[in-house]
Amino acid sequence: PALPGAEQVVAMYEKALGGANAMKKITSLIMKGVSVDGQGREAPVEIVQAAPDKYSSTVTMREGMQSTRTFNGTAGWMVSQRGTRPMSPEQGESMRRDAALFPVSVLRGLSEKLHVSEKDTVNGATAYVLTAPAGEHATERYYIDSASGLLVRRVVVTETMIADIPEQVDYSDYRAVDGVMIPFIVRTAGVDPRDAFTRRATTVEQNVPVDEKKFVMPEMKQRNRQ
C-alpha cells in the first residue's frame, strides 16, 4: 500500500498532541520527576523549558551535588562540581532536538527535507517513519504511531569513519496536561548501555513563570583537579 505523505503524518501528530491552537497557548513547562540510569540508580530531575527552544535539565545526586545541562536556543553548556564548560557541537545539536517545547515544531521546520520512508513496528504497534537528514553526517527518524498519531520513538544515526552511531529516544505514558499530550516516560539509549537512562515525570506544570536568567550562559570556569 502507498505510504501517506509527510505533511499528512505531521498533521496527524499535531492533532494527536491537542492541535496547533492548544500548543500555541503553552509558553513554558516545568517537569519534576526521577531519572534512572543504566545501573538502576535513581536521582531527582527537574526540567525547565521556555518556548520556543530553551531547555534546562538538572539532576541532583545523592550527595546533593547537581549536574545541569542548558540550551538557550543558540548554545549549550554543562555545569557540575567540576565547573562550567561549553557543549561540543555534537552535544549542542542533540540538545537542540530536546529543547523544542513540542517536537512537532521540529518536524515543521524539516518539512522540505522530510519524507515517509517506511512502516515499522514499535512495541507491537505500527508506526510511520519520518526521515530527514540531520546535518552533514547524520539522519534522524521520527516514529509516529499510526493509531494514536503520537510520537513513540526518535532515532538519530550519526555516520563516522568507524561505524554508524545510533541514539534512540522512546516516548510513552502520554497524559493530557492543559489540553496537550505530554509523555511522562522518556527512555534514552545509545551504543553504551551505561549511558542509557529513563526519565519518569511525577508532576508537569505549564505556563508558569520561568526566570530568564536560567538561560544566560555563565562564565566558563573549570575547577582544578587536586
Q: Which of 165, 162, 156, 169 is nearest to 192 (CA)?
A: 165
- pLDDT of residue 21 exceeding 80, the answer is yes
* Mean pLDDT over the full length of the chain: 90
Average pLDDT on 141-166 reads 91
Taking the alpha carbons at both ends of the chain, their separation in whole angstroms is: 64
Question: What pLDDT score was predicted for residue 196?
Answer: 86
Give the pTM: 0.89
Average pLDDT on 75-100 reads 86
Question: What pLDDT score was predicted for residue 128?
Answer: 97
- Nearest-angstrom CA–CA distance, 192 and 34: 21
Confidence bin at 221 (pLDDT 50/70/90): low
User: Bridge partners of 118?
Assistant: 129
- pLDDT of residue 219 exceeding 80, the answer is no
- pLDDT of residue 48 exceeding 70, the answer is yes
